[in-house]
Amino acid sequence: MSLCVERGELVSIIGPSGCGKSTFLRCLNFLEIPDSGVLRIEDVEITKQTGHGWNRAQERRAHALRAHVGMVFQSFNLFAHRTVLDNVMMAPRSVKGLSQPEIEPLARALLAKVGLEGMADRYPSTLSGGQQQRAAIARALAMKPAVMLYDEPTSALDPELAEEVLQVMRRLDDEGMTQIVVTHDMRFARAASDRVLYVEAGHIVESGDPDVLFADPQDPRTRRFLRTLL
Residue 173 to residue 207: CA distance in whole angstroms: 19
Interacting partner of 55 out of ligand ATP, Mg ion, none (Cβ under 5 to 8 A depending on kind): none
Q: Does 23 bind ligand ATP (CB under 6 A)?
A: yes
Burial 12-46 (b: 16+ CB within 10 A, else e): bbbbeeebbbbebbbbbbbeeebeeeebebeebeb
**Minimum CB separation from ligand ATP for residue 34, in Å?**
9
Residue 88 to residue 93: CA distance in whole angstroms: 10
| Cβ closest to Mg ion, residue 69 vs residue 182 | 182
Q: Does 21 bind ligand ATP (CB under 6 A)?
A: yes
| Cβ closest to ligand ATP, residue 214 vs residue 225 | 225
CB 226 within 8 A of CB 214: yes
Q: How far is CA 135 from CA 27, 131, 144, 159, 192, in A?
A: 24, 6, 15, 18, 21
Q: Does 18 bind ligand ATP (CB under 6 A)?
A: yes
**Minimum CB separation from Mg ion for residue 19, in Å?**
9
Stretch of 4-12, 15-23, 121-129, 168-176 lying at the interface with ligand ATP (CB under 6 A): 15-23
Interacting partner of 19 out of ligand ATP, Mg ion, none (Cβ under 5 to 8 A depending on kind): ligand ATP
DSSP three-state, residue 23: helix
Q: Strands 203-208 and 195-200: what pairing?
A: antiparallel
Q: Does 205 bind ligand ATP (CB under 6 A)?
A: no
Which one among 10, 12, 14, 22 touches ligand ATP, defined by CB under 6 A? 22
Residue 215 to residue 226: CA distance in whole angstroms: 10
**Minimum CB separation from ligand ATP for residue 47, in Å?**
19
Q: Could you give the string, one character per residue 56-85, with x where binding to ligand ATP holds by CB under 6 A and - elsewhere?
A: ------------------------------
Q: Does 22 bind Mg ion (CB under 5 A)?
A: yes
